[in-house]
Chains A and B, each alone.
Chain A
Amino acid sequence: QVQLQESGPGLVKPSETLSLTCTVSGGSISNYYWSWIRQPPGKGLEWIGYIYYSGSTNYNPSLKSRVTISVDTSKNQFSLKLSSVTAADTAVYYCARVRRIADYWYFDLWGRGTLVTVSS
Chain B
Amino acid sequence: EIVLTQSPGTLSLSPGERATLSCRVSQSISSSYLAWYQQKPGQAPRLLIYGASNRATGIPDRFSGSGSGTDFTLTISRLEPENFAVYYCQQYGSSPWTFGQGTKVEIK
Residues of A within 8 A of B (CB): 44-47, 58, 60-62, 94, 96, 99, 102-108, 110-113
Contact = CB atoms under 8 A, between A and B. Distances in A.
B32 A111 contact: no
Interface size class of B (residues with CB under 8 A): 20 to 34
Contacts of B46: 110
B47 A47 contact: no
Contacts, number: 64
B101 A104 contact: no
Contact of A62 (B35, B43, B96, B101): B96
Given A47-B98, A110-B46, A104 B37 contact: no
A94 B99 CA distance: 14
B35 to A, nearest CB: 4
B87 to A, nearest CB: 11
A111 B44 CA distance: 7
A103 B32 CA distance: 6
Interface in B15-57: 30, 32-33, 35, 37, 43-47, 50-51, 54, 56
Given A44-B88, A44-B102, A106 B96 contact: no
Interface string B73-108: 000000000000000101010011111111000000
B45 A45 contact: yes
B45 A110 contact: yes
Nearest to B92: A105
B93 to A, nearest CB: 9
Nearest to A64: B96
Contact of A104 (B32, B44, B45, B88): B32
Nearest to A49: B96
B99 A46 contact: yes
A18 B45 CA distance: 22
B47 A103 contact: no
A106 B47 contact: yes
5 contacts: A47-B96, A60-B96, A62-B96, A106-B47, A111-B44
